[in-house]
Structure 1
Amino acid sequence: MSTGSAGSPTKVSGATPKGERRRHALACAAADLLVEGGFDAVRHRAVATRAGLPLASTTYYFESLDDLIACAVEVLGNRELVVMRGRIDELQDLAHDVESTAMLIVDLLIGPEDGQGEGREKLVARYERFIASARHPQLREVQLRLRAQIDDLLTDVLRRSGRIVHEQQLRRLVAVVDGAVVGALGEVDPAPRAMAKSMLLEVLDVVAPAQSYGT
């Protein structure tokens, strides 16, 4: 296996346009299965069936199941980034009050409210990926690349909201939201958005204080 300039796993057999299309279809199928059933649901036969491709294609286009899962995680992360960027692009001038800023950050990191339960499943799948990356170097590399892009988006949002942001403090802000979500998901009647917003309101002015424009 070789790696591209960004460090993502690639395989020579997927280098043709047809190969790239099939490789992408398999990664997308694996991503869907990952959301629906977690890591245990991502198996060669299930992925090939979902993608409508022969079973042998999963081993032809990917070095291993771990390689396929890493690509699936990247697909999911990029889907989330597209949604986040779309949400930001919808906005013109960002409100500077703490309530609006906290709500926007929650929307970006957790996603919009979902009345059909799909939002919760996506959150569970996302945090399962975080935990799995602690054991698997390939996943860790993917998560670090995705996290860097999320950090850039959050930095832009906070600055446009009239706030001072530093890298270390930004990680604390994200950790507050992550902790709130994981805590809520473990409860009988979880409300991750409400818990994350409540905790974020308590720390936002500390970790990302409003800029002073003079007296």
Structure 2
Amino acid sequence: MAAPKQTEKGERRRAQLVAAAADLLEENGFDAVRHRAVAERAGVPLAATTYYFSSLDDLVAAALDHLGGEELAMSRTCLDEHDDPSEIVLDLLLGPRSRTGGLDPVLLRFERLIGSGRRPYLAGLLRAQRVEFDAQLDEALTRAAGRRPRPGEVRRVTALVDGVVLTALIEADPDPREVARGALREAIAEWS
């Protein structure tokens, strides 16, 4: 089914649905994004989800794009305001909501990242987001270390943080961001 021609009201309704789906995705993962749940969260009729989106996959992709865009915008704002660059690196790798501390924001983000791998229709979107993500990560690491990362260092830092966080999640560490912060600071100190 072709997407309907958008009016101003239609664009607002579609945006409501995307925001509702993104909230559900962030709070409870992919399984929470269902037509009925999204419509209820958005406060619109159930039929709106199938009117504005050709499939549930289309709605999930729009939600993930919205969520990724929000997170990148938050990190960009922090970079522009010259926040602590190592904290921005952690925001990019663990999600800005991980600043609140605790296990849940980090666990949900990792579940979303891993779950994305089971959805091939998201691959192109994630690759596109990765370009901006890596650029911001490069900039934050440059500020944190006082020099530009050498080829491959951005990916090694990502792998290091992902690895220590995954271990922290397995061990049910109450603050995986703190564990990641320690590993990141050690790595940056070795570069300097």
Q: Which structure has the highest helix share of the two?
A: 2
Distance 1:77 1:35 in 2: 10
The answer to whether 1:69 aligns with 2:60 is yes
Counterpart in 1 of 2:10? 19
Alignment of 1:172 onto 2:149: no
Which amino acid counterpart does residue 74 of structure 2 have in structure 1?
A: V
Q: Please, which moves more after superposition, 147-156 or 160-169?
A: 160-169
1:95 matched residue in structure 2: none
Task: Count residues in correspondence.
Answer: 189
Question: What is the CA deviation profile of residues 124-155 of structure 1, one whole-angstrom value per residue up to 9, with x for unaligned ones?
Answer: 23212211222212222222222221111121
Q: Is the 8 A contact 1:48 1:58 kept in 2?
A: yes
* Runs of 4 or more consecutive aligned structure 1 residues displaced over 6 Å after TM superposition: none
The reply on whether 1:78 has 2:69 as its aligned counterpart is yes
Paired residue secondary structure (2:174)? coil
Shift of 1:173: 0.8
User: 1:145 — aligned with what?
Assistant: 128
For residues 164-209 of structure 1, give each alpha carbon's deviation from its aligned partner in whole angstroms, at most 9, with x where no partner exists. Answer: 3145221111121122222212223332112112222333355xx3
Describe the shift of the 1:203–1:50 C-alpha distance in structure 2 as closer, same or farther (beyond 3 A).
Answer: same
Which residue identity is paired with 2:8?
Answer: P
1:157 and 1:60 mapped to 2: Cα distance? 41
Percent of aligned pairs with the same residue? 47
Match of 1:7 in 2: none
- Structure 2, unaligned runs of 5 or more: none
State yes or no: 1:114 paired with 2:97. no
Q: Is the 8 A contact 1:181 1:196 kept in 2?
A: yes
Q: Shift in Å at residue 108 of structure 1?
A: 4.2
Distance 1:60 1:193, change over 3 A: same
Aligned residue in 1 for 2:47: 56
After superposition, the Cα gap between the structure-2 partners of 1:103 and 1:36, relative to the gap in structure 1 and judged at 3 Å, is closer
Instruction: Name which one, 1 or 2, has greater alpha-carbon Rg.
Output: 1
Determine if contact 1:106/1:193 at 8 Å carries over to the other structure. yes
Q: Which runs of 5+ in 1 are unaligned?
A: 2-10, 93-99, 211-215
Q: 1:136 aligns with which of 119, 133, 136?
A: 119
**Counterpart among 118, 142, 148 of residue 159 in structure 1:** 142
Contact 1:38 1:128 survives alignment (8 Å) = yes
Report the alpha carbon displacement of residue 58 of structure 1 after superposing the two structures with TM: 0.6
**TM-score, normalised by the number of residues in structure 1:** 0.77
Cα pair distance change 1:149/1:91, threshold 3 Å = same
